[in-house]
């Protein structure tokens, strides 16, 4: 049935738009006094794991918050992925489907049987959620909160249900658990498959994981340096911890405020916010451009410089010590350009609403990376208060574009997509 790529993407778009539209009435009728645009945005934010909301979490009934967290979880792992592994339909074929829904450049294939692979991914995230739930209970969190946190945080959806994502008042053990699992959610899923099979060599070879961890550490140290320079004599270890927790929240595109960032120097915020573009590892539940693509693009840049010196060089690029096909190299670079263009166009559409340029630019970034975190939204605590119904609809569309890595939405504008064979 799914021999044709076209119908595959059609299924993907229908599944996502259908899911978002189906959940919209739930939010609309459960929250009196809220518009249809609010409900649409809330539904899109829930499915795309963007840590922003149209409603104040304090006014939401408990069942709705739990419902939202469940949507977070399914959306984070992938709607079709969850569907296939539960119902096991015979008609789905091919690896391409997972590649289309599970973000990242699609050359990190680990299983030959794709259905096994879907199942394993769902199992991994279910396991992580259960573990997180148990740990949170032990650390003293209320059961309802623990359920929601376990569901949302494992798939880097943020912590919208607790005080709109501003979680500075939580106890230290809980913060540590949250940080560890936000990081776990932003690491490539194949890493866990290797882990269960004890393929340590594969894990140590994973350059993406290495660079992602290095990026987090360097950013944290840089932030500590700035805090030290501005607030002389403050304790180093708590600063390091606070910085690390906030950096992981942002770089994993979870997008909650966990440290007292109000007192941080401006430079720290810029360091964090600009890196949100990079986002998490490929084939993870995080958003953004993905570390893998950035690595390939950086290698392309160096390679181009190299080729100016050696015009006749034929060496191909390597990733994880293996040469990669030139079409993947091209795809990664093209995606970065496409991502930035979509980001700018999103900001252009947002700018029609009554907002400043800084708000348009930073909200567009927060939406397309599915983080919900931006320089402007840090002060607004993850609520889209400044936007009208039009603006909220645009926010929702940018979120969907970011979650599906743009191409499925871009295809809608192509004639060959609509033409029947």
Partner 1 sequence: MKKIVSFYGVFLNLMGACFALPLITALIYQEPGSIRAFSLVMILCFALGFAIRVICGGNINDMEVKPRETYLLVATVWLIASAIGGLPYMLTGVAPSFFDAFFETASGFTTTGATIINDVDAVPKGVLMWRSFSQWLGGMGIIVLFVALLPKFGIKARNIASAETPGPTVTKLSTTFTGTAQRLYIAYLILTGAQTVLLMTGGLNFYDAINHSFTTMATGGFSTYGASIAAFNSNYVTWIITIFMFLAGTNFELFFVAVFGSIKKAFKNEEFRLYLAIVLSAITLITISLMTQGGYTDLFQAVTDSAFQVMTITSTTGYATVDFALWPTFSLMIIVILMVIGGSSSSTAGGIKVIRLLVMGKLFKREVSMKLHGRVVDDIKVDKRKLLPETLIYIIGFISMYIFTLVLATLVISLTDPVGLVTNFTAVLSCISNVGPGLEAVGPTCTFSFYSDFSKFVLTIVMIAGRLELSTLFIIFTSYYWRPYKV
Footprint on this chain of partner 1 (rule: CB under 8 A): 5-6, 9, 100, 226, 265-267, 270-271, 273-274, 277, 297-298, 300-311, 326-327, 329-331, 333-334, 336-338, 340, 344, 347-348, 351-352, 355-358, 360-362, 375, 407, 410-411, 414, 416-417
Q: Under a CB-based contact definition with an 8 Å cutoff, are residues 30 and 61 in contact?
A: yes
Query: How far apart (Å, rounded) are the C-alpha atoms in residues 132 and 257?
Result: 19
DSSP strand pairing (318-319 vs 322-323): antiparallel
Cα 99–254–276 angle (5° rounding)? 80
Q: Under a CB-based contact definition with an 8 Å cutoff, are residues 121 and 155 in contact?
A: no
Q: φ and ψ at 241, to 5 degrees?
A: -60, -45
Nearest residue (CB) to partner 1, 276 versus 383: 276
How far, in Å, are 15, 33, 109, 132, 190 from residue 112 at the CA level? 25, 51, 8, 30, 13
Q: Under a CB-based contact definition with an 8 Å cutoff, are residues 228 and 236 in contact?
A: yes
Report in angstroms how near the CB of residue 295 gets to partner 1 at its nearest: 11
Report in angstroms how near the CB of residue 309 gets to partner 1 at its nearest: 6
**3-state SS of the chain: helix, strand, coil percent to 5?**
65, 0, 30
Nearest residue (CB) to partner 1, 184 versus 360: 360
Report in angstroms how near the CB of residue 367 gets to partner 1 at its nearest: 15
Nearest residue (CB) to partner 1, 84 versus 406: 406
Candidates 167, 68, 77, 92; CA nearest to 126 is 77
Report in angstroms how near the CB of residue 60 gets to partner 1 at its nearest: 31
Report in angstroms how near the CB of residue 350 gets to partner 1 at its nearest: 8
Query: How far apart (Å, rounded) are the C-alpha atoms in residues 120 and 350?
Result: 39
Report in angstroms how near the CB of residue 92 gets to partner 1 at its nearest: 17
The H or E element spanning position 186 is: none
Nearest residue (CB) to partner 1, 195 versus 352: 352
Report in angstroms how near the CB of residue 108 gets to partner 1 at its nearest: 18
Query: How far apart (Å, rounded) are the C-alpha atoms in residues 62 and 160?
Result: 13
Query: How far apart (Å, rounded) are the C-alpha atoms in residues 53 and 41?
Result: 8
Query: How far apart (Å, rounded) are the C-alpha atoms in residues 243 and 227?
Result: 9
Nearest residue (CB) to partner 1, 52 versus 355: 355
Report in angstroms how near the CB of residue 111 gets to partner 1 at its nearest: 21
* Neighbouring residues of 406: CB distance < 8 A, sequence distance ≥ 6: 335, 338, 339, 342
Report in angstroms how near the CB of residue 252 gets to partner 1 at its nearest: 19
Nearest residue (CB) to partner 1, 114 versus 125: 114
Nearest residue (CB) to partner 1, 100 versus 187: 100
Nearest residue (CB) to partner 1, 213 versus 351: 351
Nearest residue (CB) to partner 1, 92 versus 226: 226
The H or E element spanning position 404 is: none
């Amino acid at each position: 049935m799914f021999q044709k790529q076209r119908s595959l993407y059609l299924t993907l778009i229908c599944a996502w738009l259908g899911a978002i539209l189906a959940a919209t009435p739930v939010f609309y009728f459960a929250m009196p006094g809220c518009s249809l645009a609010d409900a649409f945005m809330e539904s899109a934010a829930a499915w795309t794991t963007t840590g922003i909301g149209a409603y104040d979490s304090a006014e939401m009934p408990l069942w709705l918050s739990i419902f939202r967290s469940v949507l977070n979880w399914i959306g984070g792992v992938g709607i079709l992925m969850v569907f296939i592994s539960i119902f096991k339909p015979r008609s789905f074929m091919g690896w391409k489907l997972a590649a289309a829904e599970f973000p990242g450049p699609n050359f990190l294939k680990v299983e030959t049987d794709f259905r096994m692979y879907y199942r394993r991914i769902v199992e991994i995230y279910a396991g992580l959620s259960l573990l997180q739930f148990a740990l949170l209970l032990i650390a003293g969190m209320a059961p309802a909160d623990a359920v929601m946190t376990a569901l949302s945080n494992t798939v880097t959806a943020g912590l919208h249900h607790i005080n709109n994502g501003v979680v500075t008042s939580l106890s230290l053990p809980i913060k540590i658990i949250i940080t560890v699992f936000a990081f776990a959610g932003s690491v490539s899923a194949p890493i866990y498959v290797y882990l269960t099979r004890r393929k340590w060599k594969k894990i140590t070879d994973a350059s993406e994981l290495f660079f992602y961890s290095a990026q987090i550490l360097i950013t944290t140290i840089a932030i500590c340096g700035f805090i030290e320079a501005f607030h002389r004599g403050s304790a180093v270890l708590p600063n390091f911890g606070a910085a690390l927790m906030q950096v992981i929240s942002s770089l994993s595109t979870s997008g909650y405020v966990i440290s007292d960032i109000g007192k941080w120097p401006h430079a720290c915020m810029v360091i964090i916010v600009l890196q949100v573009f990079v986002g998490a590892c490929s084939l993870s539940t995080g958003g953004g451009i993905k570390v893998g693509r950035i690595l390939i693009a950086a290698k392309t840049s160096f390679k181009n410089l190299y080729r100016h010196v050696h015009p006749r060089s034929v060496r191909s690029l390597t990733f994880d010590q293996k040469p990669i096909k030139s079409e993947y190299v091209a795809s990664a670079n093209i995606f970065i350009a496409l991502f930035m263009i979509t980001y700018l166009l999103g900001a252009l559409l947002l700018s029609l609403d009554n907002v400043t340029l800084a708000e348009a630019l930073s909200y567009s970034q927060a939406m397309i990376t599915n983080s919900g975190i931006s320089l402007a939204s840090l002060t607004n605590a993850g609520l889209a208060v400044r936007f009208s119904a039009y603006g909220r609809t645009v926010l929702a569309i940018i979120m969907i574009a970011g979650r599906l890595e743009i191409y499925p939405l871009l295809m809608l504008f192509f004639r060959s997509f609509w033409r029947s064979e």
